[in-house]
Chains A and B, each alone.
Chain A
Amino acid sequence: MTLESARQRAVALDSSTHDALTALRLEPPRELFTHIRGYLFRRSREMKTENDAYKLLSYRPSNDLAEIELGPMIDKGPTPDYFRFDSGARLSFGLILREVDGRSEVVSFRYHYVFPDGRSPQYLRFDLNKAPHDDPLAEPRCHLHPGIDDVRIPFSVHNPVEILDRIFFVLERAT
C-alpha cells in the first residue's frame, strides 16, 4: 500500500460521487425551496426554541442556477439569523442547484452545524464542492469537516433534505 494507491482510490471515490450526482435529480429549485421551508417549519413546531422558517430561509434564482440560503455565509458566533436548536446548537447552510429539464441538479452545498459551547468537536460541516480537487485524497468532492477546517472526511452524496434529517434526528438528539 502506497500513497499513490491511496490517491487512486480517492480518484475512484470522486468518480462515484460524480455518478451519484448525475443520477440525483430533484424537484425544480423553487419547489425544493418550498419543501425545505416546510421541513424547517415542521421541525420548529416540534421544538421549544422558536425559529421563523419563513424569514430565515431565502431563495435567489440566477439564470439556470438557484441558491437556497439560511444564516450567515461565515460562522462568527451566534446571531438571530441561524436556525437555533433547543440544545443551543445552531445551523446555517447554502445550497446551489441547476435547473435541467425541469428538475434540479445539485451543484454544491455546505451545511454548518455548530454544537453548543464547550462541546467537542465544536462543529460538523457537510460540503459538496462543485468539481473534484487536484488532490482528492486530501479533499474529496463530498466531505465532512469534523470540527477541523483542514480535515475532510469523505461521505456519500445525499439528497439535501436527507442531510437535514441527519442533523435534526441524529446530531441534535445526541447533543
Chain B
Amino acid sequence: MPEFSTEPFFEIARRLEMQGETGWLAVLAPVADSTAALDQLQTELQSILQKPARVIQLEPSTFEGLLEALHQPDDDAVILSSGTGLKREKWRSLDIMRSALERKGPVILWLATGDVANLVEHAPNLRSFIGGSIFLAGPDGGIMTETERQERLKQLSEHFQLTDQEVVRKAEVGELSNEPEFVEWLVLLDRGDLV
C-alpha cells in the first residue's frame, strides 16, 4: 500500500473547504475507535463547512437507495462509509455508477484498511474522482499539552500570589473565590471535585 499522509480531521475539512466544498477525498479509518472517529469527522465537517454532514453506509444500501440518499439533498456533506470493508464486486458496481454519484456537495469516502487496494484495482474511475486526496485519519489535536498546563498554572500562581496547594486548601474549606480563573485553576489541577 502506498504511503499516505496522516492528517487531523480539522485539516481534512479545511482542504475540502478550500476546494470550494464540492470535492471528493478518502480517509482511511483508524483501526481503534473508528465509530467515535467517524462522529468526530462528521462534527468537524459541519463546523468548518458550515453545512450539514451525513453518514451513509455503502453496505447494505441498494443502488436506488444510495442515489436517493446522495441527491436528496445533494448539497450537504456526505461521508460514504465502507464499514468494515467492501467486497470487490461492490467496488466494481460503484465504479459503473460513478456518474450517478456526482453531486454538488462534498463526498468523503470513509475506508477500512483493505479498501484502498480494491478501490485502486476495481474502481479506477471512482479513484480518479479522489486523485491524490487519500489520507490517514490522524489525531484530532487541540489537547492541551503538559507544558501548556504547567505554564497556565504558573501564570495563575504568579498573578494571584498563591501556590497550587494554597488554592486547593482554600477550596476545601470553602474560601476560594467563585471567579472563573479559580475554577480553571482547580480543573488544571484535576481537582474538579472541588468545583
For chain B, what secondary structure do more than half of its interface residues adopt (helix, strand, loop), or is it mixed?
helix
Q: Mark A94-107, 1 if CB is under 8 A from B, else 0.
A: 10100000000001
A57 to chain B, nearest CB (A): 6
Which residues in window 112-140 of A have CB below 8 A to B? 127-133
> Contacts of B40 on A, CB cut-off 8 Å?
30, 34
Is there contact, CB below 8 Å, between A130 and B180?
yes
B53 to chain A, nearest CB (A): 12
Is there contact, CB below 8 Å, between A74 and B155?
yes
Is there contact, CB below 8 Å, between B143 and A58?
yes
Which residues in window 25-47 of A have CB below 8 A to B? 30-31, 33-35, 37-39, 41-42
Is there contact, CB below 8 Å, between B142 and A54?
yes
Which residues in window 173-195 of B have CB below 8 A to A? 178-181, 183-184, 187-188, 190, 192-193, 195
Is there contact, CB below 8 Å, between B142 and A33?
yes
B146 to chain A, nearest CB (A): 10
> Contacts of B44 on A, CB cut-off 8 Å?
34, 38
Interface size on A, residues (CB 8 A): 38
Which residues in window 64-79 of A have CB below 8 A to B? 64-65, 67, 69, 72-74
B137 to chain A, nearest CB (A): 15
Q: Output the nearest chain B residue to A67 by Cβ-Cβ distance.
A: B187
Which one, B43, B179, B187, contacts A34 given CB within 8 A? B43
Interface size on B, residues (CB 8 A): 36
A8 to B104, CA, bound (A): 58
Q: Known contacts being A107-B183, A131-B178, is A60 close to B47, with CB within 8 Å? A: no
Is there contact, CB below 8 Å, between B47 and A39?
yes
A72 to B152, CA, bound (A): 7
Q: Mark B100-134, 1 if CB is under 8 A from A, else 0.
A: 00000000000000000000000000000000000
Is there contact, CB below 8 Å, between A127 and B179?
yes
> Contacts of A141 on B, CB cut-off 8 Å?
178
> Contacts of A131 on B, CB cut-off 8 Å?
178
Which one, A39, A54, A96, contacts B195 given CB within 8 A? A96
A81 to chain B, nearest CB (A): 10
> Contacts of B33 on A, CB cut-off 8 Å?
none
Is there contact, CB below 8 Å, between A96 and B187?
yes
> Contacts of A63 on B, CB cut-off 8 Å?
190, 192-193
Q: Which of B141, B155, B187 has the most CB of A within 10 A?
A: B187
Which one, A37, A54, A64, A73, contacts B181 given CB within 8 A? A73
A110 near B: Cβ within 8 Å? yes
Is there contact, CB below 8 Å, between B156 and A38?
no
B179 to chain A, nearest CB (A): 6
> Contacts of B193 on A, CB cut-off 8 Å?
63
A35 to B45, CA, bound (A): 10
B48 near A: Cβ within 8 Å? yes
Q: 7 additional contacts, CB 8 Å, given A35-B47, A38-B13, A67-B144?
A: A34-B43, A59-B143, A64-B192, A72-B155, A109-B180, A110-B181, A141-B178
14 contacts between A and B (CB under 8 A): A38-B13, A38-B44, A54-B141, A57-B142, A60-B188, A63-B193, A65-B187, A65-B195, A69-B144, A69-B152, A96-B183, A108-B178, A108-B180, A130-B195
* Chain B residues at the A interface, C-beta cutoff of 8 Å: 8, 10-11, 13-14, 40, 43-44, 46-48, 50, 140-145, 148-149, 152, 155-156, 159, 178-181, 183-184, 187-188, 190, 192-193, 195
